[in-house]
Structure 1
Amino acid sequence: MKGDSSAHRYCPPPGPILPPPSNIESSHVFISDALLKNTSWFDSSTFAIKASIGDVPVINYQHWGKINSAGSATKDLFNTKFRLASVTKVFTVLAVLLSGDKIGWEDSITKYIPGLEAALYKDVSISALAGQTSGLGRYGYVSDLSFLPTFSPKILGLTPINTTLPGCDPFPGGTVCTASQVLDMFNDPNHHPHSPNSVSLYSNIAYNLLGQALESVYPNQSYASIIKKLIFEPIGMQTAGFDTPSASDEAEAILPLSGQQWFAAPFSNFDPAGGIWATPDEFHKFAMAVRGNKLLNAAETRKWLQPRSFLPSYYQLVGAPWEIIRPSDLKITVPRPIDIYTKSGGVPGYTSYLVLIPEYDVTITINVAGDKATPALQTLLPTVIKPLVAYADTQARQQALAKYAGTYRGASGSNSSLVLTIDGGPGLKISSFNMNGAPVVAGLAAMRGIPVASASARVYPYDTDAWAEGKQVWRFQLDGPMATGNTWADLDCASWNFGDPARYVGNPLDILNVKVDSNGKAKEIELVGWRSTLKRTKD
């Protein structure tokens, strides 16, 4: 079942090429101490990794680093709090989406924050703030060099001047800006948004505005209480919150030791951008709730995952707030882009990652604490994703072979049959397809102007919202006229333009309704356009 990309380039339609694997019974070891022990950060980093395929846990890995943090190595790390940092942005956007009856996705932020200069912010929408295209800068007052006591302007050739900033929000744990000071900052010409809805620029203060918008539509409630009510409580995140865990309770959280410059202090105004503390178990529970459409329905979740802007990379896009990657080195049978929806979080001392891979129904969460938390996370992400995707790909193909491959025949005397197989290409290959004695694939190819002698077709999952117990919807499509070698910009890969190619008296010719048994194994296929049903044979 190995793909042969050198002999043929496939152009499957958008979406999954096979159903994701289900009911995994995995004893496979994806990650181990032996795999990581030679890294420069392993001994000094404390981290937890959880991963699932569907609802089945496949990775539960924890590692306590050598004395690098307050905490007891005898405690279950999965129930010990880490700072999620910027993964908090996912919670903030989700809270906005859950408040759709109160906050319009394309509304101007000026509708929710009186006092923002309308002329400057009228084009800064809620969606632009969430999708990092608001045109706002990164931090506001936070990290301004004038606040750093050790900074010398001469290092950069700057002329020393007396500090004119209010001195608030300089860093976590510092003096917190009042509401009026925050508003003054946003209206200061030095912090005005530039060309909203153009290029992506990562902004934390954009999320401060989203937090204020939430507070404006939930009177007398703080941002933290809104997140608790809309997200934490419904999915059972009982200990998650925004308050810095007590240093006196070493078992409650991973906290810095004396002298370590970790950002463990309260984030206050920046809570919507990165303030959540949660255990790895709670973090994974949240990720699974997003994957399983527990808070938004399936259509709303898919809409949320859509990209908002591009980056100067072939492999990265930006969502709200998703960081979407499409790695080229995944070990899968049919080489193709796999959309991996991530959100990273990182402050000194803490890093985290939330990962969703809908193609394979994979959910991953990673929490790291330590002085080398950033290089640790950068190594862990591909180390976890690549073998997990390869395994899920193999399982999906093996399950599809058992569930769908075979011969389906019409009633006696109809001379109608369909043969499905699994080969080195995407989806289910149609090896033979005859209806009332007519070769269907050849006939459709002739109608499309494709050489009949080389015509082939495949079947792909479709309209999964219509899938129900005992019934699935699939779509078959002729393989595109792609040969070896590449056309400019892959313009010959236009499969998204060839769906629903023909109908007969209203019924689509490319839709197959598959009836399955309680184990998901196909029993018969209804060919909607032919108004006929073919039953799977036992041979």
Structure 2
Amino acid sequence: MTRLSVTSIFLAALSLINQIVADCSKYTPAFPSPDYSQKSPELLEAFNDISNTLSNLISKPVYNASSYSIEITSTDSTLWSTHHTAQDKNVSRPGAEEVNGESAYRIASITKTFTVLGLLYQDVAGNLSLDDTVDTYISDLRGHQRGSIPWKDITLRTLASQLSGIPRDFAQGDLFIEIPDATQYGFPPVSDAGLPTCDSYANYTPCTAKDFTDFLRSANPLFAPNQKSTYSNLAFDLLGLVLANVTGLSYEDYIRTAILEPLGMKGSSFIPPPDEFAVLPKGEAWYWDVDEGVQNPTGGLFATSSDLSTYLRYILTHFNGITPKLNWFHPASFTEGVNSFYGVPWEIFRTEKILSRTGRPVTFITKGGGLPGYITNIILVPEYSLGITVLTAGDTALMSKLREIITTKLIRATDKLAQRQAYEKYVGTYAAPHINTTLTVSLSPYQGLYVSEFISNGTDTFSALLAFFADRGANDITVQLFPTLLYRDEKNKRGELFRAVLDVVPRHSGGPPSVWDDFCVTNVDLLMYAGKPVGEVVFWNTDDGGYRFDRVEMSAFRVWLDRVGNDKHEADSSEGLSIQEL
């Protein structure tokens, strides 16, 4: 390789300097997910703190008529749960005597995730394609329409991604029904001619598929397909009809046989469980018996917190393996906020406020729901292999307070646990003395695992690189090690693959921040040496029963390095472990 081509490669790396600022130089996940089978004082303290905080909150009189169920699960088992039974109940119909993990709630729009999972199963089976248009499977949407929705341009994927542009509802949310006298708000007097004759318009008589498609054939879009995200319940009612048409089963029977029964979710159903299991909010118990009919795919499921923990465990272990067409946790479209996105059908939220002192973001994959008397939420945090279920009945303001308490305290504790375990497993000095090669792995709560020193064949690579980049505006260089979640030996789950990413930190100009300081790109695999990625680092544990890694393979350098010292404390970085207080 000529000097010119070498320089060109390094200048390509240098061209990224302006994009490498504090917000862009921290790759996530910073640490491998914690091993929850190990004793964890961090989590024990967090659960005690959450419990005490919730007790103080729920003791307020405003929540006397509220119940809740909260469960936190890892990929393997439930880690913690708590339940609260309302003091003030319906006198004539109190429901469950004491709320527990087997108590059932109406989970509302969480049902949409079951609809999409069923859709993904049928895609894998070859019975449909996510990229087929919806009129392929619903004949009533073909031919002459009285409305102007372009069904030939709306795919199953756009429906599931909240990108269809079709209206939100057709038999709910009408002020003509919801407000006794809408004229007092300036609306003109009108008749009910031409309105649907089901659901909220007709004492909650279930809507049929004909009621639904009759409305759709005369409806107009909010936006063109794929133009802009907007929440639509109708999109998932359509997907329910698609599933029924391609499987030959009712939507409810398909979800039961394809998902609920295989996962052992015995407390979950589209049929209301008996009152002895029912969490019935005061004043809203009547809605427990409402049959949502054709709208079941968008919000008709009843479920227990125990069942939803089972469901979240399945999702956490399969989200990128259900179909090759998508990673189920990836965003599909934007919402109006800079930190929020729609998935398929997830509501995805990224925030730096929880680990604010580190600057590292946390990503929450969520789905919320609401029906009269019920506010529900499931939350998945793949970076930490956690699933959270929060089900409430009663005061609608309770959910936001519970979610804030649980997520902030849990994630901060889990991050401390991840740091401690990463320190014990990876941090240390690894060497091949016969060729004068040494690698020192350290840990920072801000950056995660990183390379603090690398001597290769007697060359101090950091000094050499910094000297090269210093003349071109660099102030420092850092090398973060972040987990890829892959293994060299995938079959036996041995040889954890990490990527070492070089970040060149520019000298500050002293001027005001630039708008484009927040622009980031991901450019992990920038350099190779003789066909091997320079940034590939593999940790091997030579003791099958051990917890600490004793060998490191650096692929491009064709070298295996052994941990220096037999005692893990002797091998630790001289910096020592400093868990970030958040």
How is 1:27-46 mapped onto 2 (pairs within 5 angstroms)? 27-28=44-45, 29=48, 30-32=50-52, 33-37=54-58, 39=60, 41-46=62-67
* Aligned residue type for 2:564: T
Deviation for aligned residue 1:465 = 6.1
Contact (CA 8 Å) 2:65, 2:89: kept in 1 or not?
Answer: yes
User: Distance between the aligned counterparts of 1:240 and 1:153, measured in 2?
Assistant: 42
Deviation for aligned residue 1:154 = 5.1
Match of 1:177 among 202, 207, 213: 207
1:158 lines up with 2:188 in the alignment: yes
1:282 lines up with 2:296 in the alignment: no
Contact (CA 8 Å) 1:86, 1:346: kept in 2 or not?
Answer: yes
Indicate the residue corresponding to 1:431 in structure 2: 452
Deviation for aligned residue 1:364 = 0.3
Q: Which moved more, 1:412-421 or 1:143-152?
A: 143-152
User: Distance between the aligned counterparts of 1:441 and 1:114, measured in 2?
Assistant: 65
Indicate the residue corresponding to 1:78 in structure 2: 101
Deviation for aligned residue 1:435 = 1.0
User: Distance between the aligned counterparts of 1:405 and 1:360, measured in 2?
Assistant: 20
1:241 lines up with 2:269 in the alignment: yes
* Aligned residue type for 1:297: G
User: Distance between the aligned counterparts of 1:426 and 1:172, measured in 2?
Assistant: 59
Change beyond 3 A, Cα 1:453–1:144: closer
1:268 lines up with 2:261 in the alignment: no
Contact (CA 8 Å) 1:153, 1:160: kept in 2 or not?
Answer: no
1:386 lines up with 2:402 in the alignment: no
Deviation for aligned residue 1:40 = 5.7
User: Distance between the aligned counterparts of 2:253 and 2:238, measured in 1?
Assistant: 17
3-state SS of paired residue (1:340):
strand
Change beyond 3 A, Cα 1:409–1:236: same
User: Distance between the aligned counterparts of 2:104 and 2:62, measured in 1?
Assistant: 20
User: Distance between the aligned counterparts of 1:301 and 1:355, measured in 2?
Assistant: 23
1:418 lines up with 2:439 in the alignment: yes
User: Distance between the aligned counterparts of 1:223 and 1:359, measured in 2?
Assistant: 33
- Alpha carbon RMSD of aligned pairs, Å? 2.7
User: Distance between the aligned counterparts of 1:21 and 1:482, measured in 2?
Assistant: 33
Change beyond 3 A, Cα 1:452–1:184: closer
Indicate the residue corresponding to 2:113 in structure 1: 90
Change beyond 3 A, Cα 1:232–1:73: closer
Change beyond 3 A, Cα 1:446–1:365: same
Deviation for aligned residue 1:260 = 5.3
Deviation for aligned residue 1:422 = 1.2
User: Distance between the aligned counterparts of 2:474 and 2:546, measured in 1?
Assistant: 37
Contact (CA 8 Å) 1:10, 1:425: kept in 2 or not?
Answer: no
User: Distance between the aligned counterparts of 1:414 and 1:471, measured in 2?
Assistant: 23
Contact (CA 8 Å) 2:198, 2:204: kept in 1 or not?
Answer: yes
Q: Give aligned pairs, total.
A: 521
1:9 lines up with 2:22 in the alignment: yes
Change beyond 3 A, Cα 1:17–1:148: closer
Change beyond 3 A, Cα 1:328–1:431: closer
User: Distance between the aligned counterparts of 1:172 and 1:402, measured in 2?
Assistant: 64
* Aligned residue type for 1:237: M
User: Distance between the aligned counterparts of 1:108 and 1:73, measured in 2?
Assistant: 44
Change beyond 3 A, Cα 1:115–1:448: farther
Deviation for aligned residue 1:326 = 1.6
* Aligned residue type for 2:66: S
3-state SS of paired residue (1:355):
strand
Indicate the residue corresponding to 2:332 in structure 1: 308
User: Distance between the aligned counterparts of 1:492 and 1:161, measured in 2?
Assistant: 54
User: Distance between the aligned counterparts of 1:513 and 1:232, measured in 2?
Assistant: 39
Give 5+ residue unaligned stretches, structure 1: 1-7
Indicate the residue corresponding to 2:259 in structure 1: 231
Indicate the residue corresponding to 1:521 in structure 2: 548
Indicate the residue corresponding to 1:123 in structure 2: 153
Match of 1:362 among 365, 374, 386: 386
1:202 lines up with 2:222 in the alignment: no
User: Distance between the aligned counterparts of 2:391 and 2:434, measured in 1?
Assistant: 62
Match of 1:512 among 492, 516, 537: 537
Contact (CA 8 Å) 1:311, 1:318: kept in 2 or not?
Answer: yes
3-state SS of paired residue (1:77):
coil
Deviation for aligned residue 1:254 = 1.4
Contact (CA 8 Å) 1:98, 1:296: kept in 2 or not?
Answer: no
User: Distance between the aligned counterparts of 1:227 and 1:446, measured in 2?
Assistant: 62
User: Distance between the aligned counterparts of 1:80 and 1:284, measured in 2?
Assistant: 13
3-state SS of paired residue (2:276):
coil
User: Distance between the aligned counterparts of 2:417 and 2:537, measured in 1?
Assistant: 23
3-state SS of paired residue (2:351):
coil
* Aligned residue type for 1:84: I
Deviation for aligned residue 1:12 = 3.6
Deviation for aligned residue 1:147 = 4.1
Normalization by structure 1: what TM-score?
0.89
Indicate the residue corresponding to 1:110 in structure 2: 135
Q: Give the share of equivalent positions with the same residue, in percent.
A: 26
Deviation for aligned residue 1:268 = 1.0
Q: Which moved more, 1:162-171 or 1:445-454?
A: 445-454
User: Distance between the aligned counterparts of 1:307 and 1:112, measured in 2?
Assistant: 26
User: Distance between the aligned counterparts of 2:425 and 2:322, measured in 1?
Assistant: 25
* Aligned residue type for 1:202: Y
* Aligned residue type for 1:245: P
Kindly provide the CA deviation profile for residues 76-116 of structure 1, in whole angstroms up to 9, marking residues without a partner as x: 52111111100000110111011112121111101010020
Q: Which moved more, 1:77-86 or 1:483-492?
A: 483-492
Normalization by structure 2: what TM-score?
0.83
User: Distance between the aligned counterparts of 2:391 and 2:291, measured in 1?
Assistant: 19
